[in-house]
Structure 1
Amino acid sequence: MIFQRLRVKGGPRAAQRKVDELPLARQRQLVERATRHTVGLALFGLRQSGRPFAESAENATFTAVTCNDTAWPQGREVGDQLAARLGPHYPLLGWGMNENPCFYWDRPQLEMPVPTGKGLPTTLMVQSVHDPATNISLARSAHSRYTGSRLLTIAGEGDHGICGGVNKCADKIVNTFLTTGKAPAKDTTCAGEGIPAPTAPYSTDYAEGAPLSRVAGFTRAISGYLR
């Protein structure tokens, strides 16, 4: 409904100008309403301390689980060193490694149980070979140590999230597992949708070439890293 109201002549920029002209209280009201609908809590109307319930619950939960799950190296210096090492080689994500909140997380001394899968129903694991954020070796290691698991590997795909996208093979296997509990009899692979490759080699002329080539060229030009 909000998008329909803001659909004005001139496109997104004109719509944004219309929003900017609204009183600040009205802008906040629109953001609050959109947030509640986005996180799926509009039907509940839950509020805490006068604010919409769970506005930032997703990020807070993700950070707490990630940073408490295992011990992390601590301190900004660790993150900066990691970013300096990975940035020149993986410019899309590498330079942002020092933004990981777990480097600054005050984790209690916990002894977390190690999941083994013993005595549990079959677990289906889904992993893209070329996932830019989660390395395939981690999935294979977890699979090898988790009893009764099945690994669905997506080959020739560059995305981080696979299920619920355009890969019909993966969706069929995952949806069947979720609705019936039936997993593949053995580890299996689905063909991906392809990986976009740079159209030109890295160059100091970063105005040309594919987007990733331009990013890498720009990174090399301003960072001083020539490797």
Structure 2
Amino acid sequence: MKRSIALGLAGAVVLASTAVTGATAQAAPGLHFGPCPADISKPYPKMRCANLEVPLDYHSPNGEKLQLLVSKLPARKPAARRGSLLVNPGGPGGAGISFAGDLIGQLPAQVLDSYDVIGFDTRNTAHSTPITCVDPATYWKNPLPDPDAPQAREQNWQRAQEYADGCQQRAGKYLPFLNTPTNAQDMDRIRQALGEQKISYLGYSYGTYLGAVYGQLFPQRVDRMILDSSVNPDTSQIWYRDTLGQDVSAQQRLDQYFDWIAQYDRVFHLGTDRAQVRAAWDAIQADLRKAPRGPLGPAEFDEITFNALYGEDDWTPLATAIADFRLRNDDSELIDHVSTKDKADENTNAVYNAVECADASWPTRREDWEHDSQQLAANNPLTAWYNSWTVAPCRVWPGPQQQPVKITGAGLPPVLMFNSVHDAATPYQGALEMHRSLPSSVLVTEQNAGKHGVYALAGNPAADQIGTDYLVNGTIPPQDRSIPGHPTPDPTNPQTNQDSP
């Protein structure tokens, strides 16, 4: 459990409660909670699970049904219970129930006392009628083609076509109904099945967009809502330009990571300034372009580096691995970082593409994609091409594409937002746009930090206190505020070398 300190919120606004404190849980029609699947029950033995049937197509509610898996950890103090808190990890395609299990270990005690914590795997994800588009053993076999190499461009376009074709062949009947508005409708079916008039919600990353769309479709059903690390909801940004914006923020965060490595040159010996550390990183990438080291090639090195920018957990291990490779020609640690994608990873990728490709229209001309990627790569080389190939199936997507939902926040109660100012995955500019789109929102900015996920995840006591006061007591800052960032790791002190307690 996180340590926290009491912080005075001078002038905090107290919200009118929309759930009765001490109310007992209502009946849960259609939800009969029992043991969870073994992969859930073993690490999270206190959680209970239930299957919920939802329509494949909400326009044909009596037609084919899908199974969604929903999890529940009851409020620890029934007398203090105020409702159900649905949580979502983002993605799209993140395994929501396993995330809920992890989050339970990090949410403050007052929240666990006051809420039934409800996890759910969104449709076609994890335990909820999962889909795949390709055979992961062959399609994702490492090393993957170099994302940046012009000579590999045709191969990468062919892979994008192969992936889109595979989705049509293996999951075609689901594609017309895999999108964010349908996920939001599923959430409201969960609410109904829980017997709740209103639900509270905690969503991260893509979960912020899902929460905003839910709030747009069902504002009268929202009690309290936290949106953490927000997607830019502007209809012109979803999802193509959101992906391009991520390339810029990731490069900026990489520079900060290089600065951090340089700060500890006595530990890593990779240089005393950003340019020297970048040169060491570039030299490894050049080496891998000449000849991959087993499963480790340029694409894998990009992915390893990008993943490390989501938080600081892996900063010290990755810097050590880079030093081993560069200074001692020892590639073993970097190879250990290579992700071998299995069926679960492929499911996540399938849903990621399916939802993003369906939520909005995408450019259809290869020339447009290549022009935008080339321009971005000049100053933001880390993910400019890597990200483009990730979503390239959307150029030739076989399913229908819709107009994005316009977020206005009409009818919503006060919403609390968090974002770190240097978030690599969901740039801060997106949080500002989400904030503008939700007039009832208050934005808490974590300064001098870049963690993707702030409340209950970053180890920031000030953020945790603000979020907990809002969820439990209904207090919210009267205006936007900034808080100091959580500390970065100190590689000279292993006890501080972590991103979350």
Output the TM-score relative to the length of structure 2. 0.27
1:87 is matched with which residue? 377
Residue number in structure 2 paired with 1:173? 466
Q: How far does residue 157 in structure 1 lie from its aligned partner after superposition?
A: 0.5
Going from structure 1 to structure 2, the CA distance change for 1:124 and 1:74 (only over 3 Å counts) comes to farther
Contact 1:153–1:189 (CA under 8 A) maintained in structure 2? yes
Query: Pairwise mapping of residues 1-227 of structure 1 onto structure 2 (< 5 A)?
Result: 34=39, 44=49, 53-54=127-128, 56=344, 59-74=349-364, 76-101=366-391, 102-106=394-398, 108-163=400-455, 164-193=457-486
CA contact (8 A) 2:360 2:401 kept: no
Letter in 2 for 1:110: Q
- Conserved? CA contact 2:422–2:450, under 8 Å: yes
- Structure 2 Cα separation of the partners of residues 127 and 138 of structure 1: 10
Shift of 1:156: 0.4
Q: Which has the higher contact order (CA 8 A, sep 6+)?
A: 2
Q: CA RMSD in A?
A: 3.7
1:125–1:150 Cα contact (<8 Å) kept: yes
Aligned equivalents of 2:488 and 2:375: distance in 1? 25
Quote how far apart the aligned CAs of 1:194 are: 5.6
> Whole-Å Cα distance in 1 between the matches of residues 481 and 348 of structure 2?
31
The separation in 1 between residues aligned to 2:410 and 2:422, in whole angstroms, is: 29
8 Å Cα contact 1:122-1:148 kept in structure 2: yes
Aligned residue for 1:189, secondary structure, equals: strand
How far the C-alpha of 1:68 sits from its partner, in A, is 2.9
Change (3 A) 1:93 1:168: farther
Name the aligned partner's letter for residue 115 of structure 1. Answer: I
> What's the TM-score once normalised by structure 1's chain length?
0.55
1:152 shift after superposition? 1.2
- Which range moved further: 115-124 or 87-96? 87-96
- 1:156 is paired with a residue whose SS is coil
SS in 1 for 2:411: coil
Query: Residue type matched to 1:82 in 2?
Result: D
- Contact 1:156/1:195 (8 A) holds in 2: no
Q: In structure 1, what is the Cα distance between the partners aligned to 2:476 and 2:360? A: 29
Unaligned runs of 5+ in 1: 1-31, 197-227
CA–CA distance in 1 between the matches of 2:477 and 2:417?
11
8 Å Cα contact 1:151-1:187 kept in structure 2: yes
2: CA distance between counterparts of 1:145 and 1:179?
25
SS of corresponding position for 1:150: strand
Q: Deviations over 1:115-171 (max 9, x none)?
A: 211221111222221111222222212212322111111110122222222222222
Extract unaligned runs of 5+ from structure 2. 1-36, 52-66, 68-125, 131-343, 490-501
Deviations 1:77-115 (A, max 9, x none): 544443333334334333312223244434525344422
Alpha-carbon distance in 2 for matches of 1:179, 1:65: 33
State how far apart, in whole Å, the 1-side matches of 2:378 and 2:488 are.
21
Counterpart AA for 1:122: P
**Percent of aligned pairs with the same residue?**
31
Change (3 A) 1:70 1:169: farther
Aligned length: 161
